[in-house]
């Protein structure tokens, strides 16, 4: 197992590989994102992590990009490749897939499913 030097990394991409996301091409999306990063020789700029459930199962496959805090829904291998090219390398988020962005808290875009609040009223 490796311990990576992250000092040159500009983006951390969290790719859900929980049960619902795996059923919606989560593994294939992970591999496509990693392949696109390699094709652009951007391994030093973009770090990826497979996660378990990110809690947005109805929006599967979910991909999150930090430090921007942008959450994407219904990602596929082709959308994953676009994510690398357009968002991570060119700075143009995939607005049609965004379900949350981050300002001082997470702000829903209105394109994802309505979530269950954890705040007890």
- Residue 28: predicted pLDDT: 98
- Residue 21: predicted pLDDT: 96
- Residue 120: predicted pLDDT: 65
Dist CA 115 CA 53 (whole Å): 14
Among 8, 9, 31, 27, smallest CA distance to 19 is for 27
How far is the CA of 93 from the CAs of 50, 58, 69, 119, in angstroms?
20, 21, 11, 30
Enter the pTM of the model: 0.88
- Residue 112: predicted pLDDT: 87
pLDDT along the chain (121 residues), means of 10: 84 97 97 98 96 94 97 98 98 96 84 76 60
- Residue 114: predicted pLDDT: 79
How far is the CA of 10 from the CAs of 5, 46, 66, in angstroms?
12, 6, 8
């Amino acid at each position: 197992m490796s311990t990576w030097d992250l000092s040159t990394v500009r983006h951390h991409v969290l790719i859900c590989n929980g049960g619902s996301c795996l059923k919606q091409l989560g593994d294939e999306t992970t591999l496509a994102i990693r392949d696109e990063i390699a094709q652009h020789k951007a391994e030093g700029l973009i770090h990826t992590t497979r996660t378990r459930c990110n809690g947005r199962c109805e929006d599967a496959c979910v991909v999150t990009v930090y430090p921007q805090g942008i959450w994407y829904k219904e990602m596929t291998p082709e959308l994953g490749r676009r994510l690398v090219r357009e968002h991570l390398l060119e700075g143009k988020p995939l607005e049609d897939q965004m379900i949350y962005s981050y300002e001082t808290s997470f702000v829903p875009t209105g394109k994802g499913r309505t979530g269950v609040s954890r705040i007890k009223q």
